[in-house]
Structures are given as structure tokens and as C-alpha cells.
Amino acid sequence: MKSKISLPSLPILLAYLIIAVGGVMMFAPFWFMFVFATHTNTEILSVPPPLWFGTHFFENWNDLLGRLPAFWHNIGWSVYIAIATTAANLFFCSLAGYAFAMYQFRYKKLIFGLIMSTMMLPSFVGIIPTALTMSWIGWMNQPKALIVPAMVGAFGIFLMRQYIESAIPKELIDAARIDGCSEFGIYFRVILPLIGPALGTLGLLTFIGSWNNFMGPLVVMRDMDMYTIPLALRALQGTGQTPYGAISAGSAVAVLPLMILFVMASKRLISGLTAGAVKS
């Protein structure tokens, strides 16, 4: 007898359709960015806009470098700030998460609750205080004005605490203490090697967030040479007629490393985010 092939039910087909439409909508901006990088302004502003690649990428690229001579310098600043911010977050967030997960101290729940409450505040609330503080201590137009305020975050502390609580038994910490390991030695030699997925997740999210940060550099940076790449590309809109092709070419070059990094680390990102969601 031939086995009958069961077709998906209507709700499942509807769910697949919604997911497919959502995927196309999310992918469309990236597609148009790469397509527009190969077309002239006239072609980009035509109706309907071009949907496939053109032949003007190198013209747009030369236009970009002509309007923005410090493009590679801006890329370098973005890399430096993103790496420094990511390294600081991995250290301080993992250290704080370890303390909240494994130690008992007075007002622990209150302090953790206050830290978590900062996640409910909109990011623009701190724009004016940040600008005034950086101006008061003389850090305006310097990379540390972007690195220091972003060295630790509530989400990173929460992620590390949840992962350490679910993945590392307290008996392991007690055994390390019995063997004579110092408290910082336990963190460095026992905890860090076991929280790789969480560190990878936090590092990826922090790097992408720092790379895409626009409001921070807009508030504290003054010179074009000190701009990060999002702010530098935005500044091209004030150079006469907006060069959409050149901006798209610069955006494509700037976003390509992030896309490659995300694809390479997607499995670790998912495992790190889901770890600790269900405790045994």
C-alpha cells in the first residue's frame, strides 16, 4: 500500500506564511542597501526603484571617498571603540553576574532589582546628563567618552547571572575553595572557562550595539575624524544633494563584517540566550 502524504493543516500553513512574510520584510532593507550601492541617484529615486544590481558600485565608492576622506579612519575608530566596550562588558558583567549568582550579601535582591530597573528607562533619558558629565570632566571628543559609560550594562549582568546559576553547581565553587583557590582565582580559572556560550552571546550583542551606536557619538564627538561610521555616513546628508548611492556603498561595506560575524556566531547566540530559561 502506498503511504499517504499528510498535508500541513491550515493554521500551520498560515504560520509559515506569516514567518515568510516577516522574513522578507526584515531582509528587504539589507537587499535594497546592497542594490542601491550599485546604482546612481537617478536610478535609485526612480519609480519603481531598481530591484537588481547595477554597474555603478565603483563610481559610488569613489564618490564616498571623495566626500568622506576619513572613511577608513572612521571605520578604525568604530572597531577600536567596539572592541574596548565589548572587552570591558565581558569582564565586568561576568564578574557581577558571578557575584549575584554565587554570593550571599546584604541587600543583594535590592541591588539587583535596582540594576534591572535601569533596563526600563529609555536610552534618550541619559543623553543630556551624559553630555554634561563628559563636558564637565573634559572628555568631549574623546573615545573614552563612549567606552567608559558603556563598560557594564544591566542586560549583561542579568544574562551572566542566569547562565551561571543554571550551568555551574555551587559544589564546584566549594571544592575550589577547599583546594585553596582564591576568590578571584575561582572566577578566572573555574567560572570563565565554563561560561563560553554566555560570553560569546554577550560579546556579539555588545559589539553589534557599539558598532551601530549613533546617539552616543552624536552627543560627545565634535570632529569629523573622531566620528564612528554610523555618524560619519549620516553626515554625508549635509553635503549638498544626498548621495544615496555613496551612502549605500559605505553602509554595505560597514555592515558586511557584522553580517558575517552574526552568521558565524548565530548558534552560540541562540544557545547563550536560551540557557537559563528553564532551571532544573
Nearest to 218 by CA among 120, 130, 153: 130
Residue 5 pLDDT exceeds 70: no
Nearest to 54 by CA among 44, 65, 67: 44
Phi, psi angle pair for 88, to nearest 5°: -65, -40
CB burial readout 77-112, b (16+ within 10 A) else e: bbbebbebbbebbbebbbbbbbbbbbeeeeeeeeeb
Residues 6+ apart with CB under 8 A from 83: 207
Task: Record the cell numbers describing residue 148, joined without a space.
Answer: 567608559
131 close to 219: Cβ distance less than 8 angstroms: yes
Residues 6+ apart with CB under 8 A from 67: 236, 239, 243, 246
Per-residue pLDDT, averaged over 116-124, amounts to 83
> What is the number of helices (H) and of strands (E) in the chain?
15, 0
Q: For position 279, what pLDDT does the model report?
A: 45
pLDDT one-digit tens code per residue, 209-247: 899 888 888 888 888 888 888 888 888 876 567 788 888
Rounded Cα distance, 85 and 230, in Å? 17
Q: For position 277, what pLDDT does the model report?
A: 47
Whole-structure pTM over 0.75, yes or no?
Answer: yes
Residue 7 pLDDT exceeds 70: no
Domain ranges of the chain: 10-274
Per-residue pLDDT, averaged over 57-83, amounts to 88
Q: Could you tell me the pLDDT band of residue 157, with boundaries at 50, 70 and 90? A: very high
Rounded Cα distance, 209 and 201, in Å? 12
- % of the chain surpassing 70 pLDDT: 90
254 close to 71: Cβ distance less than 8 angstroms: no
The mean pLDDT of the chain is 84
Grid cell 558565524 — which residue? 264
Rounded Cα distance, 98 and 124, in Å? 30
Q: Specify the CATH number of the domain 10-274.
A: 1.10.3720.10
Residues 6+ apart with CB under 8 A from 235: 68, 224, 227
Residue 37 pLDDT exceeds 90: no
